[in-house]
Structure 1
């Protein structure tokens, strides 16, 4: 079964990151990627934000950018073409091809590259993430799902899902924490011990389903 993953990639040598660090929260949204040579992709993207002059100066200075062109300037955003030099930067596109993955969309900020990608199966996703980490790229998985009729997390019971969702909505997982276990338990109408067990077992099952780790399953 194919899977769609949403994740963030972080590495200082990802193309445009240096240029984006010169701006005040600019975001790039890719529209198209062309690549006769997978290691030298050409990326077309919209830039939204401020300090375009600083961003363009950053593109001039960035070793991983072979060439760039501003194609269109609008009052609120600009459209660019960037030719990436894979010998001077971290290029992930060849890994997409190697595992048979398809990029459904991606955007970039100074914080990293946010990607939405379809993988042919779970093993392809694991291989992709492993190859990224071999290049010292930090990978943070945000969301994983199949088609609208598939359940990508069959090991998570309904009670565990309810507990995990309640904890997220209450701010239990935020840093700093905005709600304690007692607040989550009160929302669920159960004891703190029951809430704790559902969260721990639900988290273990979620990780097991997402990454293939073998964990004991419990429906409580």
Structure 2
């Protein structure tokens, strides 16, 4: 099986209203889809992890016609998850259809970025990947990044507990792993709503699990 890293760049006509809102706002630092159910006839269900202003996000969802029911849960002062049922427009439906046909599997997370792009990896047979790229609707420009054989490279992430994964994700988003480091364990602990010692333990165990899972 092949794996392809893709970047999709949307224009003003094709970008989802919530992606545009988050991208154009200074109140958000990260916006990722981590799970999705595409089996619905009229709508689809998704779970997002967001770093930013939960009140501003909820207000924007109330104004967005494509958004149906949703449930927003705060996980920290500026971190929250959102379960949402979304009514896809034609361009979204065609894009989802292109990347869920045949052998294709989209690997979460799907990262929604401030430059109106979406980044994700997809695994599948070469012919299905080619057809998916050819089926991308007008108004969305695709850039193919890394291409290779799928080797289960997400196994390292799969070895983590939910809390360890959250700790690593939060640390990365805050800048804990930046060089030079721009966030401390105390900052990570505040975002996770736990004690600094607990945050440090989550990070140590998560880093150990990832290293053990890698083939170095």
TM over 0.5: yes
Kindly report which structure 2 residues correspond to 1:106-145, keeping only aligned pairs within 5 A, or say none.
106-111=110-115, 112-121=117-126, 123-132=127-136, 134-145=137-148
Match for residue 45 of structure 2 among 42, 45, 62: 42
Q: Which runs of 5+ in 2 are unaligned?
A: 152-216
Give TM-score scaled by structure 1 length: 0.57
**Greater relative contact order (Cα < 8 A, sep 6+):** 2
For the 8 Å contact 2:107–2:123, the answer to whether it is kept is yes
Residues of 2 paired with 1:52 and 1:109: CA distance? 17
The alpha-carbon deviation at position 145 of structure 1 amounts to 1.2
**Aligned positions, number:** 145
Partner of 2:82: 80
Give TM-score scaled by structure 2 length: 0.58
The alpha-carbon deviation at position 38 of structure 1 amounts to 6.3
The alpha-carbon deviation at position 14 of structure 1 amounts to 3.8
Q: Structure 1 residue 8 and structure 2 residue 10: aligned?
A: no
Q: Output one character per residue of 1:144-190: Cα deviation in whole Å (capped at 9) or x when no partner.
A: 11145xxxxxxxxxxxxxxxxxxxxxxxxxxxxxxxxxxxxxxxxxx
Q: Structure 1 residue 96 and structure 2 residue 95: aligned?
A: no
Flag the 1:76–1:54 CA change in 2: closer, same or farther, 3 A.
closer
Partner of 1:71: 73
Residues of 2 paired with 1:139 and 1:98: CA distance? 18
Give RMSD over aligned pairs: 2.5
Flag the 1:138–1:131 CA change in 2: closer, same or farther, 3 A.
same
Partner of 2:30: 27
